[in-house]
Structures are given as structure tokens and as C-alpha cells.
Amino acid sequence: MPAAPVTPRTPSPVATQRVLHVINGEHYSGAERVQDLLALQLPQFGFEVGFACVKPDRFSEVRQAQHVHLFEMPMRGRFDLGCARRLAELIRAEDYALVHAHTPRSVLVGSLAAKWAGVPLVYHVHSPTGNDSTRRLQNWVNAKLEHWSIRHAAQLIAVSPSLKQLMEQQGFSPERVTYVPNGVPAIDLPPRQRPEQSWTLGIAALFRPRKGIEVLIESLAALRSRGVDVTLRAVGPFETPEYEREVKTLVKKLGVGDAIIWTGFTQDIAAELRQMDLFVLPSLFGEGLPMVVLEAMAAGLPVVASHVEGVPEAIRHREDGLLVEPASVSQLAMAIEELVVGDELDYETLSNNARERHGEFFSDRSMAANLAEVYQKILGY
């Protein structure tokens, strides 16, 4: 179940503490959005954020928190101890009170740096590392390295109850794992009304195999073959050029190229959500609590999504949207068709429910407030 709503509080009366977030930085997708929003929201609770990027790239260019200090410390390899030493020196020089790492790669050096600098470590579990990609050996190696790196962490942050349970199953005591749900800002849009004719389906993601875009494309083709008037707006970059070619080949094979708009990366997700009537996330596996689902809810978009990991902790079936089994083209197509042509579910009710649920449980302010309480407990005030 979601955490109880956080009552807005006045800024912390204590002196501001400095916290270093150690991140990858090569993309700007869900986890990076969390990092960016925390940097914007935590100062009102007494914590100033700095960033150290071990794979610097897009994050440094497009983040909203451009005023926040960002140190580029590229790792020369997975076991770059020199990077850990440089981080430790930075922590001491800049007087950071705590290190907060967000990925298996960043926590590998972040944990060593925190130990050498004599400060506590917090690790943010955004998704199940052992089920992150289709490469099983890489998943296994990353999960083992992650577990070794966080064995002495002061606290683990799980973005969903399912991830908290996973970390406890791996041997971490319940007291060391805190559930802090992701959160996003409210999106100021007028109440949504059911489309009268053509529907625009929407998806936003860093497109990679586990996001299930092929399932959505096949569902789109099936719907259009049955005369359902739907098009697709796909927002975001592809993880690799090879995967993009693979997906575009499927689009051509199914003959739905004229029904899909590929926008590429955007910094203004709210502007894209305004152009959608129904949000779809057909993930196959590997989800924590998807930020883009929360953003769709904030925009009042009903959601059709796969019943995987943390997704049902945000979307209540037939209340805020519909949940389907992963990798099922038929179920996904039927769920979309039920909303588009059926009359059993009221579109406006789903929209209002989604927006209200976001405001009650998944705001960016409540995310920062909950995390600030964890920091305060660790630092002893």
C-alpha cells in the first residue's frame, strides 16, 4: 500500500547539511528524474544536494536543477578505485555529511568513498537489479556487486513495497530498508474529457527490450485491423541504434508506420502528456515505481499497464486504469479497446481518480519529505 500522505512542513530549522548524490548520469529517464526532483525539493527540508556523475552525459545537460553543483568523475572501468579515491577527496573537501548512491555502478565506488571519507551511505533501490535486462549474466554480476557494495549501508531506500520485500529477502533487516515512494510535480491541466473520435495512445520511456514497445506496436496493429481509431505517440530515445532498427523493422512489417509518431527525447514531458488520451506502459519486467506512470496520473491520464513489480502499487485496476499480464498482445489490445469503444468504464472518473491518487500519495514534495526524515535519523537529529 502507498505510504500515508505527508503533511506539509516548514523548512528544517537546523543548519543545512550537504548530501552528495552519486549517480550514473548518461541518461535522463526515471531514476534520473528522481535525482533531479530531490535536488530541487530537499533544500526546503534542510539538505543541500550535490551530484557526482560516474558516467556523465545527458543528465548534466538537461536536468532542471542546473544550480546544483555537479562534479564529473567518469569511471575508467567497472573497478576504477581511482574514482573512489577522488570521490572521497571531494566528500572531505566539500564537507558532505552523507553519500547517496543510485545505481549498482555508482554505489560500487560510492560505498568505498563513503567509507574512506568516514560518512554514512544511503542506497536508492529504483528497480530489481537482478531482473534489469535480458542479459542474465550481466544481471547476476550486477546484483552480486550491488549486494557487496551495500552490505554496510546505513539505510536502503526502496521505491515500492515489492522492492522493500525483495531487499529483505536478500538478508537486509526491515529496519534498514525504508519505503519512500517516487513522486512527481502536479501538472496543471483542465479536466480531461473522453475523446469523441480518434484516440492518441501514448508511451514515454527509454526504449529498451524490457519496456515492451513491441507488444504495444503489435496491439496497435491488431486494434487498427479491427477498425479501432487509435494512433500512437512514442516519446523518448532508444537505448541503442541496433534496438531502434529492430523496432522500426517490426513497425514496417506490420504496416503501422503512418500511425506512430516518434518524438525522441523531450525535457517537457507535460507538453507531451497533453497530447495523449490514454497512457500505455507494456513493460515486461524490471519496474520499480515508474515515474512516467506517476506523471501520467498527475496529468489525469488513465493508464493501461502491465501487472509487473511496482506498477500495481500506483495503478488500481479499474479505478485509475487497467492492468494486464505482461507480454500479452491480446490482453493489451482488449484493455485499450475496452476504454476506447466500451461504455462500462467512465473515462472522466478514471482520469479524476488518477489525478487525486497522485496528489495524495505521489507528489515530489512528499518524496523529499520522507527522504529527509531518513537523512535526519541517520545523522542524529
pLDDT per residue, tens digit, the chain (381 aa), is 454 444 334 444 444 899 999 999 988 988 899 999 999 999 999 999 999 999 999 999 999 999 999 999 998 877 788 999 999 999 999 999 999 999 999 999 999 999 999 999 999 999 988 877 778 898 898 889 999 999 999 999 999 999 999 999 999 999 999 999 999 999 988 889 999 889 999 999 999 999 999 999 999 999 999 999 999 999 999 999 999 999 999 999 999 999 999 999 998 999 999 999 999 999 999 898 999 999 999 999 999 999 998 999 999 999 999 999 999 999 999 999 999 998 889 999 999 999 999 999 999 999 999 999 999 999 997
Give whole-number Cα distances, 306 to 34, 204, 244, 273, 323, in Å.
22, 14, 22, 19, 5
Q: For residue 340, is it within any domain?
A: yes
Residue 237 is assigned to a structural domain of this protein: yes
Domain that holds residue 78: 17-183+363-379
Q: H or E stretch including 81?
A: helix 81-93
The two counts, helices (H) then strands (E), for the chain are 13, 13
Q: What letter does residue 333 receive in the DSSP assignment?
A: H
Co-location of 35 and 149 in the same domain? yes
Q: Is residue 6 part of a domain?
A: no
In this structure, which amino acid lies at residue 149?
Answer: S
Euclidean distance between CA atoms 264 and 231, whole angstroms: 17
Neighbouring-strand partners of residue 212: none
Task: Please report the pLDDT score of residue 183 as a whole number.
Answer: 97
Is 9 inside any structural domain?
no
Same domain, 213 and 298: yes
Grid cell for residue 350: 478514471
Give the length of the chain.
Answer: 381
Judge if 56 and 84 occupy the same domain.
yes
Asked if 164 and 216 sit in the same domain, the reply is: no
Quote the number of domains for the chain: 2
Answering whether pTM is above 0.95, one says no
Answer yes or no: do 82 and 221 share one domain. Answer: no
Evaluate whether residue 44 is within a structural domain.
yes
- Looking at the fold, whether 370 and 352 belong to one and the same domain comes out as no
Question: Which CATH number goes with the domain that contains 173?
Answer: 3.40.50.2000
Contact 16, 192 (CB under 8 A): no
Same domain for 142 and 34? yes
Q: Is residue 249 part of a domain?
A: yes
Sheet holding 303-306, edge to edge: 260-264, 230-235, 199-204, 278-281, 303-306, 321-324
DSSP, res 118: T
> Which grid coordinates belong to 264?
525522441
**339 and 216 housed in the same domain:** yes
In a domain, 117, yes or no: yes
31 with 162, same domain: the answer is: yes
Contact 21, 52 (CB under 8 A): yes
- Cβ count near 174 (within 10 Å): 10
Give the position of cell 512542513: 9
Residue 149 included in any domain = yes
Task: Looking at the structure, tell me whether residues 210 and 325 fall in a common domain.
Answer: yes
Do 232 and 352 lie in one domain? The reply is: yes
DSSP 349: H
Looking at the structure, do residues 40 and 138 belong to the same domain, yes or no? yes
